[in-house]
Structure 1
Amino acid sequence: MNWIIAVTAVLVSLAVAGAAAVALRDPPPGLSRLVIATGGVGGVYFNYGQGIANAARAAYPDATAITVRETAASVANLGLIAEGQADVGFTLADSAALAVRGEAPFVGPQPITALARLYDNYTQLVVRAQSPVAELEDLKGKPVSTGAPDSGTELVAARLLGLVGLQPDRDVTRHRLDLAESVRALEDGRIAAFFFSGGLPTAAIADLARRTPIRLVNLGRFVTAMRAKYGEFYSELPVPAFVYGLVADVATVGVPNYLVVSSRMPEAEAYALTRLLFEAKATLVAAHPEARRLNRRAAISTYPVPLHPGAARYYREVKP
């Protein structure tokens, strides 16, 4: 009799495990199509997005349309999600704040919710190692790339320049270039500096540093003013010297990255995507090391963007 009970228990456990496997590979409604809005090639968003796509393809092999979309990043991604042209996207907290509050460039509050806080971006003001630009104020009158139009880089660059009385369209020769274009322009001598907001290491900047000696301008002294004027999501973060072969660590302005979806996304789909992030973390880390920073405790801190109910349900279920 005992062996019958034992065999029955094993069969039940196998059935449960099999049901779980089927559930994982059975896409919730809508997940057969997944458009991931990322950023420019060479940036963390794009590589991280590739990792999410790889994880989704492995978990849902019957899904036929899992796409990584190259974009101008934060602001553009929010618009794509609000308009239904993307299902999930990366954005910065400061850009997302404008969307949920309905502030320019958005017209009215946007239907944006969060799945997770992912990692922090570092605002990187890059110049050649021998550049005379030592402080933010030294950019006056010089050719500068403030990032691609509708990017989070462009937003934070304009805010920082404004703190020292510089208007991007008046006081510098403004170039609105994406990361790859900014790198080429600095190498070619067409610009004196470029801004980029991204995780560490930013592959395109690391590649640049291997070819051309570079330096980052210290922006740490502006954190207090940025927090007071724009929001408490800004923080001071150090860029370690070893990341780009710098002489010393450089303080800069940090801002969190969120993975966001429309508030109209079905709860089951948002739950499945949130679960996938953590269950396939190794796949994400293989795509970019910033994915190592993903953890459940920090993931729920998405101020001022509310968590999607599906994501909130996942975090409640796994809460210790």
Structure 2
Amino acid sequence: MRRRTFLLGTLALTACGTSEPDGTIRIAGGEPGGFYNDFAGLFSRLAPSPLTITPIETGGSADNLKHLREGGADIGLSLSDSAHMEPGLVALGRVYENYLQLVVLQSSPYTTAADLIGRPVSLGADGSGAALQGSRLALGVREEHYPLRNAVDALKAGEIAALLWSGGVPTPELDKASGIRLLPLDRFLPRLRQDYGKVYERVDVRMGVYGSPVDIPTIGTPNLLVCRPDLSTEYAGAVVRLLVGRAAELVPEQALGTQYLDVRSLIDTGKVPLHPGAAAEYRRLHG
């Protein structure tokens, strides 16, 4: 038996040995077709009785943080760069990595981001992490802000020259949109790291994704599951047990083969401190 399989199985048994709190946790997810929405749905379906987890469709990271701030959600997903801007926020775990994807039509003449200067480009939906990252890239484009499905339609109709998306690979909504390709974004990484820190990483969208004949270098950003500090210790512990005990099942379709929840990376939340209840549960599970 592989070490990872054994470890996840052992942790699942350990996690299941603890009784779960009653009540409802609202998780702010994302827009339909996106990684956050899929993850929130899986999280909801795997909630252990008597706990109920209710997913909320949102615009993405910034919108999720607003829901937390205003009390419309109890926990939420956020790109770490967005989470770093929110004072008083705490984390329940680092989950996956988002890949920044600058998408054009296969038939278009554009080969670099510089070719898009002055042209209409959807830089993510309002309230999304892609919108924040798009503004930080400073592409010099004419900014539009469409949800992913609308952006794909606009791209195919020739209403925009490109769209920017932050999500897993392959993102199903993009994968089924034949005739697209990605532009490299790695040249922006040194400036982003200089201005905003090491939250941004070099990642490659592998050959074969969206039919690409080569790897496409781009920018990765960790996703965090976050909450307010006043989330109860019991709920924080229940969330950690779900993350650890059902790790192998909490992999959205668009992350299969590229990422999985890892025991070591769950506690690597960067500048956002762990919720005390989450930290205590990780210590109980892992020693």
Verify the 8 A CA contact 2:237 2:281 in the aligned structure 1: yes
Partner of 1:143: 120
Question: How far 1:286 moved relative to its partner?
Answer: 6.4
Question: How far 1:119 moved relative to its partner?
Answer: 1.2
Q: Output the CA distance in 1 between the equivalents of 2:195 and 2:98.
A: 19
Overall identity of the aligned pairs, in %: 40
Q: Output the CA distance in 1 between the equivalents of 2:145 and 2:105.
A: 19
User: What is the CA deviation profile of residues 159-213 of structure 1, one whole-angstrom value per residue up to 9, with x for unaligned ones?
Assistant: 112xx5x2xxxxx3321101111111111111110000111221111111xxx31
* Residues 254 and 309 (structure 1), Cα distance of their counterparts in 2 relative to 1, 3 Å cut: same
**Which residue of the other structure, out of 43, 53, 63, is the alignment partner of 1:52?**
43
Partner of 1:77: 64
- Larger helix percent: 1
* Residues 314 and 23 (structure 1), Cα distance of their counterparts in 2 relative to 1, 3 Å cut: closer
Q: Output the CA distance in 2 between the equivalents of 1:280 and 1:288.
A: 18
Verify the 8 A CA contact 1:75 1:150 in the aligned structure 2: yes
Pairwise mapping of residues 80-229 of structure 1 onto structure 2 (< 5 A)?
A: 80-99=67-86, 109=87, 111-161=88-138, 166=140, 172-208=141-177, 212-229=178-195
Determine helix, strand or coil for the equivalent of 2:67. helix
Verify the 8 A CA contact 1:48 1:287 in the aligned structure 2: no
Q: Output the CA distance in 2 between the equivalents of 1:270 and 1:213.
A: 44
Determine helix, strand or coil for the equivalent of 1:147. coil
Matched, 1:305 2:282: no
Q: Output the CA distance in 2 between the equivalents of 1:147 and 1:174.
A: 9
Q: Output the CA distance in 2 between the equivalents of 1:292 and 1:279.
A: 17
Computed over aligned residues only, the root mean square deviation of the Cα atoms, in angstroms, reads 1.9
* Residues 220 and 288 (structure 1), Cα distance of their counterparts in 2 relative to 1, 3 Å cut: closer
Matched, 1:284 2:250: yes
Q: Output the CA distance in 2 between the equivalents of 1:240 and 1:21.
A: 36
Partner of 2:3: none
Structure 1: segments with no counterpart, 5+ residues: 1-19, 100-108, 167-171
Count, aligned residues: 272
Question: How far 1:287 moved relative to its partner?
Answer: 5.9
Q: TM-score, normalised by structure 1?
A: 0.80
* Residues 200 and 229 (structure 1), Cα distance of their counterparts in 2 relative to 1, 3 Å cut: same
Question: How far 1:289 moved relative to its partner?
Answer: 3.9
Pairwise mapping of residues 21-32 of structure 1 onto structure 2 (< 5 A)?
A: 23-24=18-19, 26-27=20-21, 32=23
* Residues 76 and 286 (structure 1), Cα distance of their counterparts in 2 relative to 1, 3 Å cut: closer
Q: Output the CA distance in 1 between the equivalents of 2:219 and 2:198.
A: 12
Q: Output the CA distance in 2 between the equivalents of 1:301 and 1:202.
A: 25
Q: Output the CA distance in 1 between the equivalents of 2:254 and 2:104.
A: 25
Structure 2: segments with no counterpart, 5+ residues: 1-14
* Residues 66 and 318 (structure 1), Cα distance of their counterparts in 2 relative to 1, 3 Å cut: closer
Q: Output the CA distance in 2 between the equivalents of 1:23 and 1:295.
A: 21
Q: Output the CA distance in 1 between the equivalents of 2:137 and 2:263.
A: 31
Q: Specify the code of the residue in structure 2 equivalent to 1:43.
A: G
Q: Specify the code of the residue in structure 1 equivalent to 2:119.
A: K
Verify the 8 A CA contact 2:247 2:260 in the aligned structure 1: no
Verify the 8 A CA contact 1:268 1:310 in the aligned structure 2: yes
Matched, 1:245 2:208: no
More displaced, 249-258 or 285-294? 285-294
Q: TM-score, normalised by structure 2?
A: 0.89
* Residues 316 and 21 (structure 1), Cα distance of their counterparts in 2 relative to 1, 3 Å cut: closer
Question: How far 1:319 moved relative to its partner?
Answer: 2.5
* Residues 67 and 121 (structure 1), Cα distance of their counterparts in 2 relative to 1, 3 Å cut: same
